[in-house]
Amino acid sequence: MRKRPLSGVVLLLLLGVALALWLKAGLDGQPTAGKLGSTEQRREVVNSWEQAREKEVEFWGKVIDQHDGPVADVAVTATITTHQIPPPGFKARPQTIYSATTDGNGLFSIKGRPGRGFTIETMAIEGYVLAPKLQKRTNNLYWYNYDRLDPRGFKPDANAPVVFRLWKLGSPEALVMREADTRIPYDGTPVNFDLVSGRKTTGGGDIRVTLLRNPQDIQLGQRNFEWTATVEAVEGGLVESEDPFMYLAPESGYLPRLVIHMSPDDPNWTDERAVAFYLKSRGGRNFGRVKLEFMTGSNKPTTGFSFDSSVNPNGSRNLEYDPAQSVKGHPSRIHPPADSAAQKP
């Protein structure tokens, strides 16, 4: 099992040395052997290097829905990456689109020419959607490394297909969507946010955030200080989640607050932390999904804080997104509390 990676590394080093020496010889104006000119010979060396790294692309995948059921008739397209240089006077090899359709078990496979990378460009079927972070993309959804000389490269396996999840839409509802970058103090002062209006408030709203940093004064770039961030739901609760969709808020399991504590001796210490959670607020009148990030390394009086939220203000746990109905808000700065006219935005 260890011989293959070792032989790959040796071949990689040998080809690298040969390529470096050949390119140096060409740049130094040294004569080259054979009938080929220096440009052509360098091209051949580069192509030999690339051919040694490429391998026949085979890929197996499976598409399932939010209930882990197979999804049939999903149209999948893909491309394969090569870095070989065409001969003088010839154009680069045109990009070939490979396509497949899932069967009744949600399975598909694609086999193509040799390459170093495999990209799933599109994956679509009517009535289903990709994860929200992919919905704005029209291509380049997923990429896999097929470099045969990279021991970390992707290993395709027909018996263990890559699983992709789509969400089968039911009845999307109007959501209020907000995303914003703002600042909060790091002295423990709580700050409330109304995720429907997109405003800071002196009370009420949907979430209350607190950041406490020790020491409060730091030098820019200082590391390994202690900090604690707390997120509370206003008249409700939170459920932390790693679900890429978060299209249905849970019925139960809500906690009143989420605490992030970073100690100075934490081996994974960082001054930034992102978290995603389901939200129930205002006594259950609002349900939503929220992704927020604390950035605690500022040496200014306040530090960075951002959030991206989608809230259903109709008392429904349904968080399926309908672009035609949703109310979007993308303030570049969070407005001050509505009852604090003297405070500048």
Please state, in angstroms and rounded to a whole number, the distance separating the CA atoms of residues 115 and 100. 18
Name residue, tokens 């979007």: 328
Residue 287's pLDDT is 98
pLDDT greater than 80 at residue 332: no
106: left (phi over 0), alpha (psi -120 to 50) or beta: left
SS3 string, 172-209, reads: CECCEEEEEEEEEECECCCEEEECCCCEEECCCCCEEE
Q: Which amino acid is at 163?
A: V
Share of the chain above pLDDT 90, in %: 61
128's tokens: 């289903």
| φ and ψ of 82, to 5 deg | -130, 150
**Orientation angle between helical segments 38-53 and 3-27, nearest 10 degrees:** 170
Q: What stretch of H or E contains 51?
A: helix 38-53
pLDDT greater than 50 at residue 341: no
Please state, in angstroms and rounded to a whole number, the distance separating the CA atoms of residues 112 and 81. 11
What is the per-residue pLDDT across 116-153, written as a single tens digit (0 to 9) for each? 899 999 999 999 999 988 988 889 999 999 998 889 99
Please state, in angstroms and rounded to a whole number, the distance separating the CA atoms of residues 262 and 112. 48
Question: What's the average model confidence in pLDDT over 300-327?
Answer: 86
What is the pTM for the complete model shown? 0.75
Helix (H) and strand (E) counts for the chain? 2, 20
